[in-house]
Amino acid sequence: MKSLIIDTSSTAASAALFEDTTLVGDIFVNDTTTHSQKLMPIVHDLLTQTGTKLSEIDAYYVCEGPGSFTGVRIGIATVKGFAQPFKKPVVTFPSMFLIASGAKHHEGLIVPVIDAKREEVYYGVYSWDDGTLSTLEEGVEALEQLLTYLEEKYPGEPMLLLGDATSSYPHLFEKHTGFLLGTMIEGIPRASNLAISSLPLDAASTVYLAKANYMRKSQAERDR
């Protein structure tokens, strides 16, 4: 089965093609151009280089957010446009899940923390178990409160924190030294990292049910 994965939740845009659980090809672009400028060329180049037609794609996976409001909308709208004519299933996944998918060799908990501004973060807590990435919890929280909460709920558990919030608020991490902080590159979502085998297709995987999950209102909506 051929699956196309798309992520536009951050400034980076990426697409990957899988044959079952084997990565066939991927393209990743992290520059200042908008997603409306770079996403379609990325997908076109990926399909061309792998000799794949859109009609041959069996399933689509797209990031639902949180992250860039505009980017997420572009990614989901693009996938819907691809999937609907051929009546193909669409699976959405959180950006935190995608980041955690790249930490396959970490023994312990993986905690992506994405900067939501004002010292708040979107976060998720995940763990690998026999090749499956399991979701323990997801949410949005003030980073200071989150770090305290994690220390209290998972005492002694090795925790790897990934994402741009690890560099955005260094003063908060100075108070909490029990965490292993990943690098910036490890915290950037990338479609080819997706733990696709942990996201099985089901009856709810339809183009009509796929929608964004921003986890909170946009800045403009909050400032009204």
- The predicted pLDDT at position 183 comes to 87
The string of pLDDT tens digits covering residues 64-90 is: 999 999 999 999 999 999 999 999 999
**DSSP 3-state helix, strand, coil percentages of the chain (rounded to 5)?**
35, 30, 35
Structure tokens at 156: 């002694």
Structure tokens at 208: 């009509």
Residues 90 and 10 placed together within one structural domain of the fold: yes
Which CATH number characterizes residue 120's domain? 3.30.420.40
Residue 141, domain extent: 99-187
Residues 77 and 113 placed together within one structural domain of the fold: no
- The predicted pLDDT at position 72 comes to 97
Residues 162 and 176 placed together within one structural domain of the fold: yes
The string of pLDDT tens digits covering residues 169-216 is: 988 988 888 899 998 888 999 999 999 999 999 988 999 999 999 997
CB 60 within 8 Å of CB 32: no
Residues 198 and 155 placed together within one structural domain of the fold: no
CB 90 within 8 Å of CB 60: yes
CB within 8 A of 110, min separation 6: which ones? Answer: 100, 103, 125, 126, 127, 128, 159, 160, 162
Structure tokens at 181: 């902080």
pTM, 2 dp: 0.94
Residues 161 and 146 placed together within one structural domain of the fold: yes
| Sign of the alpha-carbon torsion through 155, 160, 166, 170 | positive
Residues 33 and 59 placed together within one structural domain of the fold: yes
The string of pLDDT tens digits covering residues 131-152 is: 999 999 999 999 999 999 999 9
Residues 106 and 140 placed together within one structural domain of the fold: yes
